[in-house]
């Protein structure tokens, strides 16, 4: 069997695949955080909870109403997006412009509330969600086995990330978002309904998290606390990429997944710490992050 | 004839306007009237409250009391985006060119609020430099070009009342002259213009009337034909 640095190729490529998958989730989640931070200037601590809600809603809708995976892929982000718009309209709007600590505490509180309520009902042992039949099995690439569902996750995550990047960087609506990030007040002075734009942006950001949640449902353990586990890592990814950089969030997300995968192969004990090590090093040399603009 | 009728139309009436930033009380009862088609300046020293007056009209300051009527409509409870949609175009002192947007994106960002605005072609004819650099990053332009862009941006929207804050500040004389030509053209088109200006020599030949602002109040109103008679009063207010 072929070896690379003393590691069998199949093991290396297997870990790389897991790394890219995790990276796809990091990218989707940090992308939503970056979009929200750009316009609202808040650090959305409820982001992990929204990811969890996306996954939970998928499972619950299937159990209660028999809603299938494909419908959930649209319905769950839509529902969570509406929840996000309501949260922005009734809660976040009231503390807009205050010190960061208020929005941080509020979104953290929302996350704990959602986690707590759902834990009370469903426990933390994990809900079962079976893979859609279409994705059962996989393909042997010769050097590794690629399950169909994992390939789908990587593909669709890339499509959604690129679509979001394109929407923000290349369209008129995106121009509103980019301009609003710089000077929302002036934008409103031009006649743009900024409060509405802010609500929809928050809704869109958390819908991205929910979309990641739906993708996660068949492969990760779906529990009310799944969001809090991944969120800390995603925050590190965002810090490495640079707060508010859309392209940076995507690239860094995938990159960090791969770095994690490689570490798991060559030095497993460091695998859960490596992203934070990268964060420390990046902050020492580029305090604004790899893709952030120096203030 | 229609010119004479237009002069009677009161496009902006500010009365008893107070404005606050947090604890600081900036405007202490501003009263002013601007008729359609007029070019009116707000003169005064730095910190007198001229920029704050424009921002208050846009509802961009912390707290306000008093009354601001635009086209006869009370706007004190209107959100800024509604005020823009009454046909008000605001050009802030810091110009507000967005660095994340190209020149053309900056230009087409503000939504059209009324019909009768200039087309992109007309704007590019008026400001050929902007056409040449339309794909550049907005903030990569020179100061003069950025000012042209900030002005051009609100001409496309069809706004018929322009609030212009210190548009000549820090610009070379040749650019200031160009801006003067542009304002003259806009006046000919019948646009109403409120100009906050430090450069009196720029404003004097363009304006129909001048308001002098001091300590957040209007202390003097001087029409263009009284200018020479009241020059010494004006000089004492402006400290020149």
Distance from CA of B10 to the nearest CA of A (A): 22
Task: Say if the Cβ atoms of A185 and B80 lie within 8 Å.
Answer: yes
Looking at chain B, which residue has its C-alpha nearest residue A178? B100
Cα–Cα distance for residue pair A135/A138, rounded to 1 Å: 8
Task: Count chain A–chain B contacts defined by CB atoms under 8 A.
Answer: 59
Beta bridge partners of B192: B161
For residue B2, being part of any structural domain is answered with no
Task: Say if the Cβ atoms of B80 and A193 lie within 8 Å.
Answer: no
For residue B1, being part of any structural domain is answered with no
| Residue B105 forms contact with A (CB below 8 Å) | yes
Condensed to tens digits (0 to 9), the pLDDT of residues A219-269 reads 999 999 999 989 999 999 999 998 768 888 999 999 999 999 999 888 989
Spatial strand order in the sheet of B88-91: B88-91, B161-165, B192-196, B39-43, B209-214, B217-223
Task: Say if the Cβ atoms of B84 and A191 lie within 8 Å.
Answer: yes
| Residue A178 forms contact with B (CB below 8 Å) | yes
Task: Say if the Cβ atoms of A193 and B60 lie within 8 Å.
Answer: no
CA distances from A94 to A7, A39, A223, A229, B166 (A): 55, 16, 31, 29, 34
> The tokens of A226 are what?
């799944």
For residues A47-72, average pLDDT: 95
Query: Measured between CB atoms, which of A172, A179, A192 is closest to B81?
Result: A192
- Residues in A touching B83 (Cβ below 8 Å): 189
Looking at chain A, which residue has its C-alpha nearest residue B163? A189
Greater pLDDT, A23 or A245: A23
Mean pLDDT of chain A: 91
For residue B4, being part of any structural domain is answered with no
Greater pLDDT, A148 or A1: A148
- Residues in B touching A179 (Cβ below 8 Å): 98, 100-101, 109
Task: Say if the Cβ atoms of B109 and A194 lie within 8 Å.
Answer: no
Nearest of A203, A161, A229, A206 to residue A53 by alpha carbon: A206
| Residue A191 forms contact with B (CB below 8 Å) | yes
| Residue B99 forms contact with A (CB below 8 Å) | yes
Task: Say if the Cβ atoms of A190 and B110 lie within 8 Å.
Answer: yes
- Residues in B touching A191 (Cβ below 8 Å): 81, 84-85, 110-111, 113, 157
- Residues in B touching A185 (Cβ below 8 Å): 60, 80
> Which domains does chain A show, CATH number per domain?
3-285 (1.10.3470)
CB atoms within 10 A of CB A186: 25
Contact B43, B200 (CB under 8 A): yes
Per-residue pLDDT of chain B (240 residues; tens, 9 = 90+): 444 455 578 999 999 999 999 889 999 999 999 999 999 999 998 889 999 999 999 999 989 999 999 999 999 999 999 999 999 999 999 999 999 999 999 999 999 998 888 999 999 999 999 999 999 999 999 999 999 999 999 999 999 999 999 999 989 999 999 999 999 999 999 999 999 998 888 999 999 999 999 999 999 999 988 888 888 888 888 876
- Residues in A touching B163 (Cβ below 8 Å): none
Distance from CA of A161 to the nearest CA of B (A): 20
Task: Say if the Cβ atoms of B110 and A192 lie within 8 Å.
Answer: yes
Confidence (pLDDT) at B240: 61
| Residue B180 forms contact with A (CB below 8 Å) | no
- Domain hosting B122: range is 9-238
Spatial strand order in the sheet of B73-74: B24-35, B10-21, B63-70, B73-74
For residues A150-155, average pLDDT: 94
Looking at chain B, which residue has its C-alpha nearest residue A174? B101
Task: Say if the Cβ atoms of A179 and B92 lie within 8 Å.
Answer: no
For residue B3, being part of any structural domain is answered with no
- Residues in A touching B80 (Cβ below 8 Å): 185, 188-189
Contact B61, B21 (CB under 8 A): yes
pTM for the whole thing?
0.88
User: Residue B147 sits in a domain of what CATH number?
Assistant: 3.40.50.300
- Output phi, psi for A156, to 5 deg: -70, -35
Confidence of residue A1 (pLDDT cuts 50, 70, 90): low
Total structural domains in chain B?
Answer: 1
pLDDT above 90 covers a percentage of chain A that reads: 70
Condensed to tens digits (0 to 9), the pLDDT of residues B109-143 reads 999 998 888 999 999 999 999 999 999 999 999 99
Helix/strand/coil for B206:
coil
Contact A12, A75 (CB under 8 A): no
């Amino acid at each position: 069997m072929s070896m690379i640095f003393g590691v069998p190729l199949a093991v290396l490529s297997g870990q790389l695949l897991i790394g890219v998958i995790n990276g796809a989730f990091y990218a989707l989640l940090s992308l939503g955080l970056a979009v929200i931070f750009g316009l609202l200037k808040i650090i959305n601590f409820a982001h992990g909870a929204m990811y969890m809600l996306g996954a939970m809603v998928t499972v619950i809708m299937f159990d209660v109403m028999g809603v299938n995976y494909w419908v959930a892929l649209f319905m769950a982000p839509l529902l969570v997006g509406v929840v996000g718009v309501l949260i922005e309209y009734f809660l976040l709007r009231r503390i807009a412009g205050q010190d960061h600590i208020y929005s941080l505490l509020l979104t953290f509180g929302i996350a704990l509330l959602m986690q707590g309520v759902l834990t009370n009902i469903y426990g933390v042992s994990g809900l079962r969600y079976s893979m859609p039949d279409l994705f059962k099995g996989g393909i042997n690439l010769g050097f590794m086995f690629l399950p169909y569902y994992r390939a789908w996750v990587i593909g669709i995550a890339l499509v959604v990330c690129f679509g979001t990047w394109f929407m923000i960087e290349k369209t008129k609506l995106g121009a509103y978002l980019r301009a609003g990030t710089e000077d929302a007040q002036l934008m409103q002075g031009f006649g743009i309904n900024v409060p509405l734009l802010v609500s929809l942006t928050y809704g869109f950001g958390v819908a991205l998290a929910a979309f990641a949640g739906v993708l996660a449902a068949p492969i990760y353990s779906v529990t009310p606390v799944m969001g809090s586990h991944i969120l800390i890592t995603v925050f590190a990814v965002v810090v490495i990429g640079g707060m508010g950089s859309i392209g940076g969030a995507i690239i860094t997300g995938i990159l960090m997944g791969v770095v994690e995968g490689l570490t798991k192969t060559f030095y497993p004990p460091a695998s859960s710490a490596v992203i934070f090590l990268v964060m420390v090093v990046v902050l020492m040399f580029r305090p604004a992050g790899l893709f952030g603009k120096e203030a | 004839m229609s010119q004479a009728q237009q002069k009677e139309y009161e496009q902006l009436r500010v009365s008893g306007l107070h404005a606050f930033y947090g604890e600081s009380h900036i405007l202490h009862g501003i009263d002013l009237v601007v008729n359609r088609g007029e070019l009116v300046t707000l003169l005064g020293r730095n910190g007198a409250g001229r920029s704050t007056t424009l921002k208050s009209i846009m509802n961009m300051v912390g707290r306000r009391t008093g009354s601001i009527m635009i086209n006869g409509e009370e706007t004190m409870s209107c959100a800024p985006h509604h005020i823009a949609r009454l046909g008000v175009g605001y050009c802030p002192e810091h110009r507000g060119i967005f660095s994340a947007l190209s020149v053309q994106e900056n230009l087409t960002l503000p939504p059209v609020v009324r019909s009768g605005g200039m087309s992109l072609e007309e704007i590019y004819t008026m400001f050929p430099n902007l056409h040449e650099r339309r794909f550049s990053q907005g903030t990569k332009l020179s100061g003069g070009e950025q000012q042209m862009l900030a002005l051009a941006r609100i001409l496309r929207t069809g706004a018929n009342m322009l609030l212009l804050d210190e548009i000549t500040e820090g610009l070379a004389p040749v650019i200031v002259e160009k801006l003067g030509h542009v304002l003259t053209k806009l006046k000919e088109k019948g646009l109403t213009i409120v100009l906050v200006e430090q450069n009196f020599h720029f404003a004097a030949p363009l304006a129909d009337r001048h308001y002098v602002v001091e300590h957040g109040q209007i202390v003097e109103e001087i029409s263009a034909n009284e200018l020479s008679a009241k020059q010494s009063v004006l000089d004492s207010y402006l400290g020149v």
